[in-house]
Amino acid sequence: MLKTLREAQTWIIKAVLWVVVLAFIGTIFLVWGMGGRTGQNTIATVRGTVISLGEFQTAYQNLLDTYQRIYKDRFTPELAQTLNLKQQALENLIQRHLLLQEAEKEGFVVTNAELVEQIQSYPAFQVGGRFNKERYRRILQLNRLTPADFEQQQRRDLLIQKLEKLIKDGVHISEQELREAYAKQHGKIKLQFLTLLPSLFEEEIGKTLTEEEIQKYYEENKELFRHPEQVRVRYLVLDSKPIEEKVVIDDEAVARYYEEHKENYKQEERVRARHILIKVAPDAKPEEEEKAKARAEAALKRVKSGEDFATVAKEVSEGPSASRGGDLGYFGRGAMVKPFEEVAFSLKPGEISDLVRTDFGYHIIKVEDKKEAGYRPLEEVKKLIANVLKREEVDKQLREKAEALREKIVDQGGNLEAVAAQEGIALHTSPFFAQNASKIEGIPYARPFATTAFSLKEDEVSEPLKVGRDYYLLQVMERKASYIPDFAEAKAEVRTKLLESKARKAAEEKAQAMAEELKKGSPIEKVAASMQLKVQKTDFLTRRDRLPDIGYNFTLLDTLFQLEPGETRVETVGGKYYVLQVVEKQLFDEEDFAKKRKELAEQLQRTKESLVFQAWLEALQKQADIRINEDLLALL
């Protein structure tokens, strides 16, 4: 499991790696061995091995804690549900049991030497880059682990690693796969295209529309013109501002909150650096690469000889930070590409690197400052905490006031108007709106307001509804049932929809006709002139580039890469019709392929290994006798 976590590619896992690792390890051995229990305490069985309720609950809580640390105040029960954490926790446990069973079937064993090497490799147990036994024991103790339990768990992790290695060792990349991957990543096409808007055809079509056509369209498409159910409500707003002006948070409360939520203010190691970037295009020729390197070396010579780094960066750097003297501010691990990160974190404040080559080009890095991992000081976060506590207190008082007000309204027979007058609160009335309304006059956030309104019965007063920082109490005044208007009422809308439909059809037909002309060899300028359209031409594009006027559309680019030069395609994007023609295509550059071959092969090997292992695990899981106690799971 620890290997899997170390190799995880998501920022979420990376951000809380050691928290998760130690918490999960705690989970495993706290509940390991409870598998013999069955019945009401069994959440699932994997080939007869029990996953107990306790094991599941602890694993789920661990996962929940992880996401709470990540999202902090933004974590909600709704988000937990969206992330499907219960299913994630159960899936993780099922797969772990399966992998251990398979590892044991294969006869894998873990030697003491392998175990020692594994444990000593973890940075968390090291001081100055070397394993420290006292630190090891202290970290385990802080996480309520004993060395025996932790080491037993490590043996299991190593068993799974050996099984994973067995599967992955059988994966190989063929020459054809390598060449296809290169072509897909580095292939380029040039395009030319025309854009047709349906609105170009509306004026002429509008002149020919008849009353009979419009009425026929109405009769054939009545549901298109249905008006949804609508409601109109009266409502009270309890403003948060008067309470905000009175609430004061003292320093003692801030300090207490800081101590209770200290993990929220934990910071990883960070570095502040400047850099000078001399760009090198991904498809740069050798002579272009040499020119860029020479310019970078000249800049390096200047800053190494004592010239002000920021001044040189402003003068020669081609990165977006050039105007700031190359200042990148503070950043942690994972924020920069790997070669840049490794050098930046290896330098001391004031030191300047040699040239660093990345996919962007040549960098020269100067470290200005370093901050070790630790906790942000109270003084630094004091204002932030005070704001959090103030918001919580204001919300608490305002909600209590809203609940008391609702109770008073209910006691007076639901008379919202009378209570509003008694309390001196303004009574508001909304216009009619539908349940899916995205805007309601006078309401800052329409969706929750509309959802609440449509959930109310006649004369019912809503529970306090939080909208922004204020609370609302709603009562439905009037309902309009859904209906289809008669032709006279709907005529203007019917005409508009019919016109739009005919214009879209005309635009598509014209686009197809233009594509046919291009296929026959007509110059695109001549084809464009018939509609006075602008011809757009691109430079070489890869599959991940932005299309002018269209934007990022990887699916469309993948489709266009299937075409040969001269071939055309008509596509509709965002209501516009595009006539696209491939002008030139370069899928392979043998010289560039030779340069990138090793890195690409390693990348492709890792990807294929992961896919094969995942497919194997999914097949294993599908074939295994796994029984889940759905009734118990639903209750949790």
255 lies in some domain: no
Calculate the average pLDDT of the chain: 88
The answer on 460 and 441 residing in a single domain is yes
pLDDT score, position 274: 95
Residue 39 — very low, low, confident or very high, per pLDDT cuts 50/70/90? low
6 lies in some domain: yes
193 lies in some domain: yes
pLDDT of 139 > 70? The answer is yes
Task: Give per-residue pLDDT as tens, 145-201.
Answer: 888 888 988 999 999 999 999 999 989 999 999 998 888 888 999 999 999 999 999
352 lies in some domain: yes
412-436: average pLDDT: 94
Of 453 and 21, the structure prediction assigns the larger pLDDT to 453
Given 480, 515, 544, the domain boundary residue is: 480
pLDDT of 9 > 70? The answer is no
609 lies in some domain: no
User: What secondary structure does DSSP assign to 401-457, as a single string?
Assistant: HHHHHHHHHHHTTT-HHHHHHHHT--EEEPPPEETT-S-BTTBS-HHHHHHHHHH--
504 lies in some domain: yes
Contacts of 487 (CB under 8 A, 6+ apart): 215, 218, 494
Task: Give per-residue pLDDT as tens, 200-227.
Answer: 999 999 999 999 999 999 999 999 999 9
Given 428, 453, 480, the domain boundary residue is: 480
274 lies in some domain: yes
Task: Give per-residue pLDDT as tens, 441-466.
Answer: 999 889 999 999 999 998 899 999 99
- Using N-to-C axis directions, what is the helix angle for 378-411 and 251-260, rounded to 10°? 100
The answer on 407 and 296 residing in a single domain is no
> What are 315-321's contacts with CB under 8 Å, separation 24+?
316/276, 316/278, 317/275, 317/276, 317/277, 317/278, 318/277, 318/278, 318/279, 318/361, 319/275, 319/276, 319/277, 319/279, 319/360, 321/274, 321/275
The answer on 414 and 285 residing in a single domain is no
The answer on 34 and 112 residing in a single domain is yes
Structural domain for 339, as ranges: 269-372
473-495: average pLDDT: 95
Given 344, 372, 400, the domain boundary residue is: 372
The answer on 505 and 446 residing in a single domain is no
The answer on 552 and 524 residing in a single domain is yes
pLDDT score, position 144: 75
CATH number at residue 70: 1.10.4030
Taking Cα atoms as reference points, which of 75, 140, 235, 51 lies closest to residue 628? Answer: 51
The answer on 12 and 159 residing in a single domain is yes
Residue 71 — very low, low, confident or very high, per pLDDT cuts 50/70/90? confident
pLDDT score, position 8: 34
58 lies in some domain: yes
Residue 283 — very low, low, confident or very high, per pLDDT cuts 50/70/90? confident
The answer on 32 and 147 residing in a single domain is yes
Number of domains in the chain: 4
User: What secondary structure does DSSP assign to 29-53, as a single string?
Assistant: HHHTT-TT--GGGEEEEETTEEEEH
